[in-house]
Structure 1
Amino acid sequence: MKIFSSKQLYKADQVTTEKENISSVDLMERAGIQIFNWLHQRMQGAQVPIHIFCGIGNNGGDGLVLGRHLVEHGYNVKIYVANFTDKRSKCFLINYDRFKNTTKDWPILMKGTADFPQIDRQDVVIDALFGIGINRPPEGWVKELIQYLNQSKAFTLSIDIPSGLYAESTVKDPDAVVKANHTLTFQAPKLAFFMPENAEFITYFEVLNIGLDAEFLQNEKALAQLIAKPEAQQFYKQRKKFDHKGTFGHALIVAGSYGKMGAAVLAAKASFRVGAGKVSCFVPNCGYEIMQTAIPEAMVITDEKDDLISNIHYDIEPTTIAFGMGVGTQPETVSAFKEFLEKSPSSLLIDADGLNILSENAELLSLLPKHSILTPHPGELERLIGSWSDDFDKLKKAQQFVEKYDIVLILKGAHTMV
């Protein structure tokens, strides 16, 4: 699934309205109905108090569309408009009038803290204050409103993005961002949803298809790609009836040192788990019995040294090679790794102590075979690329590192980033 920037999504809106000969209000109606359908399917007419807080832009317009449909279906709804400026978007004004024509309970205009309503913990809060177009933190009583909503502990559903959260840059004021229990986002997830620094604002999210132009979305270069289960399934290879272990590749794992043989065992087990037909492990001599006992299906090659790896040699032709798990950073191992890099004919997978060796011996980075894969956790990544100011800066520096050395980075975390 593609992840687009705010500018790309605005362009997609424009292309859709032009191609379908509809207005932006029609597109907003489509989005609001999608939110209503999602909520109605789960609430089934339950008379739980629903508080919809609308801004005066298009995100607020989405909230008004939702509110109108909820009222028409008999829900217990109150609409509040945060009247922090005299400016209004055109779509907001049209939907404001439509809502007033639906019910006698007109939206309540909020002008300060005195207008904050009572919200109980069992109520539902709909956040439609600010969308992806926000360019500065909410201030004054609007910031206090967001804090009030967060303190209520009511179930909070954000429309498109939690108010106060920036789609493609770091939050300037964490105290001015809605902490959403659930976010219904339009057409594509936002990059901010996957950043660790935003964890308290994004608990769960779902993508609602509002029918933006498919051709435009298909051809537009994405900011990033989300690989979820449906996308991952496309990479699965169907195993045929007469396939055998020789069909599925031979993995060589260079791993382990005295006291760290568990890393080699886990790596070998993982290789079989993900489908390798054969697995060979190059380990120090002290690991021979451990490997043969812990994972007898793996083949074992040993180094001359008893407690560490000093000379990587083998007489097999592996399909893929992994290096680093538990090897340590002793000078002899560093020297062996350097010699191995100098003669390695194909890309490598490097993890753990292999990454530590690279960060402590930066001259080895230029020896990495093209398209090698490095798999750092946050601490290992920082040692490789240096510190960063925020998660967006981390991505930028990681991308520069990838381009410089023509390698692949797999950044470990709650959301793996490649």
Structure 2
Amino acid sequence: MQNLLNQEQMRLADAFTIKDKRITSIELMEDAATAFAGEFLREFSDKEAAIAILCGKGNNGADGLAVARILKDYGYDHLSVYLFDFSAKETEDYKTNLNRLKEMWFPLTTVKTVEELKKISQGVIIDAVLGSGLNKPLSGIYLEVATCINNLNRKVIAIDVPTGFPAEGVLDETYNYIKADLVICFQRPKINFFFPESAGALKRFKTVQIGLDEDFIERQDSPYKLLDEGDIKILVKPREPFTHKGTYGHALLIAGQKKTMGAALLAARACLSGGAGLTTVSIPESGLTALNTSLPEVMYLDRAELNFTEAGFEKFKAIAIGPGLGTGAESKKILEELFKLSVPLIVDADALHLLGDYEDLFKQLPEGSILTPHMKEFDHLFGVHDSWWARLETARDKAVKLNCVIVLKNQYTFIIDQKGKVKINSTGNPAMGQGGMGDVLTGLIASFLAQGYQADQAAYLSCYLHGQSGDDLAKNRVSVTASAVADHVSEVLKRLII
């Protein structure tokens, strides 16, 4: 898992690398600019494109000057550099890279007013105005710059971070940014890239390695880690000879009502696809025909036959409750009886709604449980939040106090463990924006929990596979269904087994 750092920690990583490798800051900057230019070349291979590079006088601007020189060497002949002369202060690296350009007789345009920016005619703009150190909203002339650039409606590529965008912390509604189509960032993505509010500043980002000391980065104390495929490959357990259905656990799903039976069936479908040895679903009798027809492998348990004793549930290695369950008195009663057993549960959908409605019930939540709320469900549980940063801070606090795992669903889903540590899942895409996806995720978590994975492992493994299944399917489709995602998970899993 990649350790994600705040900006102060990234500056320390820069300083450590410079000292440890016995290089200068300008040499590290050259490595960063080369990495940026390489990714730019892959993204924009048309070397006849007219490109404007906007440079402030700080180190972000110095990066831009180095990028201009390297792109020129790569054969981009229609480059124009705009030097922002809004302050007298210049960094030493900026001066060095500016002198290097001047030695090449590179055409440079000094910008003293925002009005001059309106004359930019190039179709591609590289934003190297301000770097990642900004911790307050843009104001004054820089706010005017952002407004002007955004109004030009050009394709914008930002170096490391869009101008005006804070790398971490609350993304206030008053923030304004130069809006980027693509951000090419250095060594690690910014923590704020993973919040929905970032959509106002960037459409997508790519990360390039610039040679910072990885051991130093991984030693830093950070609650945020980014999941990647390697983490999942290490975690996934291959099926060994002489194993059988008893080896892979028995999952129980308590879900569905007469008019919401699909949610229960989707969860059960995913539980099967994830590889649970046995799957039982407790649904109203009205759904039995649909269950037998669509999922003959799944066993049925009548709601009236739920035996709320330890003996009644001891054969189940995982219990999930909520998809399509309803929020009436019967559903509340089931939760109350389950909570008395102090058995860890996967709590989703309508069951979460009930916890939000009844504080006394919420206080009885068994330790070790997994909560899987989307944004509205989370706020119903823990109060309304003004930002995703605040929401995540609350999730970290509550996961520790409740001794549970919280899966805060988002395009980049956050999995918060009982110690308040956050794993960020990067798989998944907008094509998955259809009903039933949450039910599939719940079924997958139940499947892996039944197979013996720890609660946080079952959560982040499920999130990764769920999203990767959607990513695979979205390559050839505008939208993907929850059923298709559930069915494809087993193929993704097979591909990942070492």
Which segment is superposed worse, 96-105 or 161-170?
96-105
Q: 2:394 aligns with which of 382, 392, 397?
A: 397
Provide the identity percentage.
Answer: 32
2:97 matches 1:86: no
8 A Cα contact 1:162 1:179, kept in partner: yes
Specify the alignment match of 2:21 in structure 1. 20
Report the Cα distance in structure 2 between the residues aligned to 1:183 and 1:143, rounded to whole angstroms: 19
Find the residue that maps to 2:412 and give its secondary structure: coil
1:183 aligns with: 183
Q: Deviations over 1:288-344 (max 9, x none)?
A: 333223311100110229xxx896894660111101112212223212311211113
Instruction: Choose 1 or 2 for highest CA Rg.
Output: 1
User: What amino acid sits opposite 1:411 in the alignment?
Assistant: L
Match of residue 359, structure 1, among 356, 378, 384: 356
Q: 8 Å contact 1:253–1:282 — kept in the other structure?
A: yes
Partners of 1:118 and 1:310 in 2: how far apart? 75
The CA distance in 1 between the partners of 2:233 and 2:55, in whole Å, is 39
Equivalent residue in structure 2 for 1:339, among 337, 341, 348: 337
Q: Give the C-alpha shift of residue 225 in structure 1.
A: 1.2
CA distance in 1: counterparts of 2:175 and 2:263, whole angstroms: 42
Check whether the contact 1:310–1:332 (CA below 8 A) recurs between aligned residues: no
Displacement after TM superposition at 1:69 (Å): 1.4
**More deviation in 166-175 or 92-101?**
166-175
Of 86, 102, 105, which residue of structure 2 is paired with 1:103? 105
Over aligned residues, Cα RMSD in angstroms?
A: 2.1
Cα distance in 2 for partners of 1:43, 1:53 equals: 18
Deviation of the 1:47 alpha carbon: 1.6
CA–CA distance in 2 between the matches of 1:173 and 1:141? 19
Q: Work out the CA distance in 2 between the residues paired with 1:7 and 1:246.
A: 50
Q: Does 1:409 align with 2:409?
A: no
Q: Secondary structure at the match of 2:141?
A: helix
The one-letter code of the counterpart of 1:64 is: L
Alpha carbons 2:171, 2:389 under 8 Å: kept: no
86-95 or 285-294: which moved more?
A: 285-294
1:152 matched residue in structure 2: 152
Q: Secondary structure at the match of 1:125?
A: strand
What residue is the counterpart of 1:375 in the other structure? 372
Aligned equivalents of 1:125, 1:159: Cα separation in 2: 11
Question: Following the alignment from structure 1 to structure 2, what is the Cα–Cα distance between the partners of residues 315 and 5?
Answer: 45
Correspondence 1:268-347 to 2 at 5 A: 268-304=268-304, 314=312, 317-345=315-343, 347=344
Query: Aligned letter for 1:318?
Result: F
User: 3-state SS of the aligned residue for 2:126?
Assistant: strand
CA offset at residue 58 of structure 1? Answer: 0.8
Q: In structure 1, what residue type is equivalent to 2:60? A: N
Report the Cα offset of residue 33 of structure 1.
1.0
> Which amino acid is the alignment partner of residue 237 of structure 1?
K
- The answer to whether the 8 Å contact 1:49/1:123 transfers is yes
Deviation of 1:255 after TM superposition, in Å, equals 1.1
**Which is bigger in relative contact order (C-alpha 8 A, separation at least 6)?**
2
Deviation at 1:250, TM superposition (A): 1.1
> What is residue 136 of structure 1 aligned with on the other side?
136
More helix by share: 2
1:87 partner SS: coil
Structure-to-structure mapping, 1:260-271, within 5 angstroms: 260-271=260-271
2:117–2:149 Cα contact (<8 Å) kept: no
- 1:49 touches 1:124 (CA, 8 Å); kept in 2? yes
Partners of 2:257 and 2:46 lie apart in 1 by 63
The aligned amino acid for 1:319 is K
1:232-251 paired onto structure 2 within 5 Å: 232-251=232-251
Give me the TM-score of the superposition, normalised by structure 1.
Answer: 0.92
Deviation, 1:42, is: 4.4
Cα distance in 2 for residues equivalent to 1:315 and 1:141 = 66
C-alpha spacing 1:161/1:304, structure 2 compared with 1 (3 Å): same
Q: Please give the secondary structure, in 1, of the residue aligned with 2:60.
A: helix
CA separation in 1, counterparts of 2:369 and 2:88?
56
Give secondary structure in 1 for the equivalent of 2:80: strand
Tell me if structure 1 keeps the 8 A contact 2:54–2:82: yes
1:273 & 1:356 partners in 2: Cα distance?
27
Residues 1:189 and 1:21: Cα distance change in structure 2 (over 3 Å): same
Q: Deviations over 1:170-192 (max 9, x none)?
A: 34465730111111111111111
The answer (yes or no) to whether the contact 2:55–2:81 under 8 Å persists in 1 is yes
**What letter matches 2:81 in structure 1?**
I
Paired with 2:220 and 2:169, the residues of 1 have a C-alpha distance of 21
What is the count of residue pairs matched by the alignment? 412
How many angstroms does 1:139 deviate by?
Answer: 2.3
- The match for 2:48 is 47
Contact 1:268–1:281 (CA under 8 A) maintained in structure 2: yes
Deviation at 1:30, TM superposition (A): 0.9
Whether the 8 Å contact between 1:5 and 1:223 is mirrored in structure 2 is no
Residue 201 of structure 1: aligned partner: 201
Amino acid at match of 2:127: D
Moved more, 399-408 or 230-239: 230-239
